[in-house]
Structure 1
Amino acid sequence: MNRIFRDATGPCLAPGGSVVCVGAFDGVHLGHRALLARARALADQRGLQAIAVSFEPVPREFFARGKPVPRLTGAREKLALLLDTGVDSLLSLRFNAALAAMSAEAFVDDLLIARVGMRALCVGGDFHFGHARRGNVAMLEQLAPQRGFALEVMPDIGVDGTRVSSSAIRAQLAAGDFAAANAALGRAFSIGGHVVRGQQLGRKLGYPTANIRLGRRTSPVTGIFAVQVHGVHAQAMSAVASLGIRPTVNGTEPLLEAHLFDFDGDLYGRRLEVEFVAKLREEEKFADLDAMVRQIDLDARQARAILAGNDRIREAAPI
């Protein structure tokens, strides 16, 4: 059974010992999953627990001091993805000033060994930790024999000649290259949430939308998209979506709005997952609502064409 913990202090989570992997794990991409799978395999070989140590907020958010930081996954989604990898426990640390000030040695001694019961550690070659990121693989290679834990440094994972990393995937998404981003993620990029009530403007304009607030999460993508919406029926539904602040109506809060084709129903409160297939254009401010509707007509036709072609590709793919 998976267990989730938040505190850096407390009783040892694995008195019998554990194999640990540490990271922000934004996206839980193929590189992360290889690391987590190796920790799981080592734990099974040695009769130990597999424990993932992560952070919320992620360190980049803490050091940004309130400035928007794009993320591939929100806290809830990252948690679910990490637990799906088969770890026995997840220590999701509250990244705060105290943790940021913790020395690299204390991070190993007080947190990984005393709190998590680490007997073995799996990390990537660019792993840094502790105050001012002073800790690195070279330090771990010195500490491992002194502290009595095994260290395994995982090689980079590449897709089509490109190293898989969260920053690279964020850049691919921002550029609208969903094929490359999805290949590195090992799944389709999506944003999920519960449908909330909006201003009902879309319905008045002939384009009712399912609206999802992003909350504290900053999306790596903005603009107008062809999407597939999961959670309405057993099969995904084609849609055209907007993700942005809606400048034509003087919006300020980022909002994900999806118009589901050939659907008329009440989705309020339903949790939906919006899968991004293709970017159509950037968000823009129109002179009036009529001009905006004319562009939405074009967007909807383009999205239908793209998604119809996407469905044909899926149907033709070998099983």
Structure 2
Amino acid sequence: MIRLFRDVDGGPLCPDGSVVCIGAFDGLHRGHRALVCRAVERARALGLPAVALGFEPLPREFFAQGSPPPRLMPPRTKVEGLARLGVDVVGLLRFNRRFTAITAEEFVRRVLVGRLGAREVWVGPEFRFGHRRGGDLATLQREGAEHGFTAHEIEPVLVGGERVSSTRIRAALAAGDFEDAARLIGAPYAISGRVVRGRQLGRTLGFPTANLRFAGKTPALRGIYATWVHGVGDAPWPAVSSFGTRPTVDGIEPLLEAHLFDFDGDLYGRRICVEFVARLRDEEKYPDLPTLVAQMDRDAVMARRILQSTPSTQACA
């Protein structure tokens, strides 16, 4: 079972040592996977636990609290994905005002050495850390020589001649280019979570939905989509999904609502995964509910047509 910790200070978590990789890991794209898999490979070779070290909230979210940048996945999904890649320990350090004052050297001493007993540290290209981003790979290597660990940088992962990044994935999703997003991620873009109870308005309109919250984060998608839903039956289930704030009924919190075609059952509390296939349109505010229902009917017809010619290519966890 994977172990999760949030605090900079505390007792040693890996008394015999560890192999650590550090990153944001938002989206767990091909670059992240290359970094994590390298650390896991080295950890297995040394007989040590593999640690993925990140931050929550993400630094860019903390410094842009008024208009936080979109997230590709909520924290729980990130932890689950890291576990599937073979990570033994995940650190989602609390990124707050106090944390921003920690120097790079102090971070090494308190976290990498004090908590994790790092033997090797792996980072991605252009990695920076610590107060005012004052630390880099050279800092890690210098500190490692003093504290008994080595530090390494993986080669950049390129797609289309450019480095894979969460920024590129967000741009692809915003443009509705799910094929490009899948190339960058290494798998179709999908969101998983536990089905929660909503206002049940969709049921009264003839469109019952399975609803997923996005952990209070700003999602990278907004609109109406053709989707496959995993975790309902033996095979992916076709659906039309809305991701947004439901302006026609004065919604506030972003909510992913999946209407599963020809499905009759109770999904509350079930963990499902929604795989995005195609963007149908923007989210809009309609003058009344009948107008909204008429548009939902058109959306459903379009989504069914798209999914008939676009099979699912992913088995979501």
Q: Under a length normalisation based on structure 1, what TM-score does the superposition of the two structures give? A: 0.91
Cα deviation code 1:228-249 (max 9, x no counterpart) = 1112111111011111111122
Tell me the distance in 2 between the aligned counterparts of 1:215 and 1:122.
29
Tell me the distance in 1 between the aligned counterparts of 2:86 and 2:112.
19
Runs of 4+ aligned structure 1 residues displaced above 6 Å come to: none
After superposing the two structures, state which structure 1 stretch, 65-74 or 94-103, moved more: 65-74
Partner AA of 1:51 in structure 2: V
Partner AA of 1:47 in structure 2: G
Instruction: Find the residue that maps to 2:309 and give its secondary structure.
Output: helix
Cα deviation code 1:178-237 (max 9, x no counterpart) = 111122222222222333333333233222222223341221000000001112111111
Contact 2:228 2:276 in 1 (8 A): yes
Instruction: Rate the CA distance shift 1:195–1:47 in 2: closer, same or farther, 3 A.
Output: closer
Tell me the distance in 2 between the aligned counterparts of 1:72 and 1:45.
32
- Compute the RMSD of aligned alpha carbons: 1.9
Instruction: Find the residue that maps to 1:300 and give its secondary structure.
Output: helix
Matched, 1:195 2:165: no
Partner AA of 2:99 in structure 1: L
Partner AA of 1:29 in structure 2: H
Partner AA of 1:150 in structure 2: T
Partner AA of 1:153 in structure 2: E
Counterpart of 1:178 in structure 2 is 178
Instruction: Rate the CA distance shift 1:82–1:146 in 2: closer, same or farther, 3 A.
Output: same
Partner AA of 1:31 in structure 2: G
Tell me the distance in 2 between the aligned counterparts of 1:12 and 1:270.
36
Counterpart of 1:317 in structure 2 is none
Matched, 1:122 2:150: no
Counterpart of 2:260 in structure 1 is 260
Instruction: Find the residue that maps to 2:39 and give its secondary structure.
Output: helix
Instruction: Find the residue that maps to 1:278 and give its secondary structure.
Output: strand
Partner AA of 2:71 in structure 1: R
Shift, 1:66, TM fit: 5.2
Instruction: Rate the CA distance shift 1:71–1:203 in 2: closer, same or farther, 3 A.
Output: same
Shift, 1:135, TM fit: 0.8
Q: Under a length normalisation based on structure 2, what TM-score does the superposition of the two structures give? A: 0.91
Instruction: Rate the CA distance shift 1:194–1:42 in 2: closer, same or farther, 3 A.
Output: closer
Unaligned runs of 5+ in 2: none
Instruction: Rate the CA distance shift 1:204–1:3 in 2: closer, same or farther, 3 A.
Output: closer
Partner AA of 2:222 in structure 1: T
Figure out how many residues of one structure are paired with residues of the other and give that number: 313
Instruction: Find the residue that maps to 2:275 and give its secondary structure.
Output: strand
Tell me the distance in 2 between the aligned counterparts of 1:267 and 1:46.
44
Contact 2:141 2:150 in 1 (8 A): no
Contact 2:137 2:151 in 1 (8 A): no
Tell me the distance in 1 between the aligned counterparts of 2:2 and 2:204.
47
Partner AA of 2:210 in structure 1: A
Partner AA of 1:178 in structure 2: F
Unaligned runs of 5+ in 1: 315-319
Counterpart of 2:150 in structure 1 is 150
Instruction: Find the residue that maps to 2:173 and give its secondary structure.
Output: helix
Cα deviation code 1:89-127 (max 9, x no counterpart) = 222212222221100111112221222111211111211
Tell me the distance in 1 between the aligned counterparts of 2:50 and 2:209.
43
Instruction: Find the residue that maps to 2:195 and give its secondary structure.
Output: strand
Tell me the distance in 2 between the aligned counterparts of 1:211 and 1:33.
29
Tell me the distance in 2 between the aligned counterparts of 1:205 and 1:3.
44
